Amino acid sequence: MRSAPTILHLDMDAFYASAEQAAKPSLRGKAVVVGGLGPRGVVATASYEARRFGVHSAMPTAQARRLAPHAAYLTPRFTLYRDVSNQVMGLLRALSPLVEPLSLDEAFVDLEAGGAAFDGASAREVGERLRADIRRVTGLSGSVGLAVSKMLAKIGSERAKPDGLVLIEPGTERELLAPLPVRVLPGVGPATGDHLRRAGITTVDEIAEAGQDELVRLLGRAHGTGLYAMALALDERPVVSEREGKSVSVEDTYDLDIHDRVRVRGEVARLAERCTRRLREAGRSGRTVVLKVRRYDFSTLTRSETLRGPTDDPAVVREAAARLLEGVDTTGGVRLLGVGVSGLADYTQEDLFAQAAGERAEAAAEADEQATPGPAAEAVEPVAPAAPEERRWPAGHDVVHAVHGPGWVQGSGVGRVTVRFETPTSAPGRVRTFRTDDPELSLSAPLPLVEEDGGAGGAGRG
């Protein structure tokens, strides 16, 4: 294990909520909750203002509303979050070739590998400069931990929150870890934590005191040995620059169980389209299509089909998912659907069967168009077109109005949508209400949080 605190862990502060506050001047300094807004919704991120009321991630949104009824509740805007994440990861990769992203808002960096730092003083200087650069480029704040290992660097960033930097000096690690709860160590989840608690072990110091043999007896050789080493502040895990995803998937949870088989098929087709769009954005393809179905009784079924070669063709994935659905009984109702692709590759191989089927369908359609309608066809009454589906206006998402310009959705319902017209660089804006089918109002792409010249577009979470 290295002797200098040159492993950096960055964790953006309340990332989704902070990005929304930076984008919406009227929400700065106020409680903001981002997540699913339906009866089964779950909180993804809560701003620090909302956390004061007891709201936290993974909490049911209904419970959060009881704790913080006056907070702003918004649906996630992953396009914005990915754009900001790419900016942050670019800053990290400028420091070192060894950057290990853990999520959109969290990553390890080996500063020594990039020659950016070689001791505590230079590491601290790099960390402070990084925090300043993140605020300059994104308008948001991030917390930094610096230590000799990944485990300790992550503990440091947690102690630095919000908007701070903690450097754990070499030689002080055991003293720092001793009083902390066992859950702070990597690999200690709820089940392992409960197992240790039943054995009278609740702190890291008590793990060290128990000894390796006792931990092996309690948890098995691999887990017990590794956990004992962590309790002694020994973590040899390197920063790994490539964390290739093993699969790409999308899923939706529905506020009300879906009983209509036709709608289920339509949802699966829509999810397949979203999944292949993500595949193409990542420049990947995959061989195995996976369907996930959670039924009304919470039983979850997965079905998979492996193709002859990797593909990123929406039609191929859609047809495979439809075939998998045929083998699943959904008569009792469906509460969640998901479509994924695994066995990823960097190239595609056409599915000849699907291609041939598509060509046959096109030929049949062309023949139908060229056929001369007979008397029977002339006698058929025209079918009235289905009423257009009401446009959805997700709370928090960006819109633009032909007259009033850019804004965001505050809420919608009963045929009306309420919009606040403001941008990341404007003052808090005015609120106006429109019909949901107003032709002058449309959804739009997120605006940058910071102006191109580097001026701050909004306060990050501090």
**Total count of residues recorded for the chain:** 462
**Which among 106, 173, 319, 422 is annotated as catalytic?**
106
Q: Is residue 382 classed exposed, middle or buried when 0-12, 13-18 and 19+ CB atoms within 10 A define those classes?
A: exposed
**Residue 145 near residue 126 (C-beta atoms within 8 A):** no
How is residue 64 written in tokens?
A: 């959060």
**Residue 40 near residue 185 (C-beta atoms within 8 A):** no
User: Can you tell me the distance from the alpha carbon of 174 to that of 107, in angstroms, rounded to the nearest whole number?
Assistant: 24
Query: What is the distance of C-alpha 407 from the center of its chain?
Result: 24
Q: Provide φ and ψ at 423, rounded to 5°.
A: -130, 170
**Residue 373 near residue 276 (C-beta atoms within 8 A):** no
User: Can you tell me the distance from the alpha carbon of 309 to that of 301, in angstroms, rounded to the nearest whole number?
Assistant: 25
**What's the chain's Rg over C-alpha atoms?**
26
User: Can you tell me the distance from the alpha carbon of 9 to that of 158, in angstroms, rounded to the nearest whole number?
Assistant: 9
How is residue 461 written in tokens?
A: 């979470």
Instruction: Please name the residues in contact with 346: beta carbons below 8 A apart, sequence gap of 6 or more.
Output: 283, 284, 285
CB half-sphere exposure, 204, CA atoms < 13 A: 24
Short-list 416, 421, 420, 408, CA closest to 436: 416
Give the ranges where 284-374 is alpha helix by DSSP (H).
Answer: 314-326, 352-370
Dihedral of alpha carbons 142, 148, 150, 153, sign: negative
Whole-angstrom CA distances from 192 to 182, 204, 222 are: 9, 13, 13
Angle (CA) 132 137 142, round 5°: 50
For strands 72-74 and 247-258, give the pairing: unpaired
Q: What are the residues facing 430 on neighbouring strands?
A: 421
User: Can you tell me the distance from the alpha carbon of 152 to that of 422, in angstroms, rounded to the nearest whole number?
Assistant: 41
Judge whether 381 counts as a catalytic residue. Answer: no
Greatest CA separation found in the chain? 93
Active site residues per annotation: 106
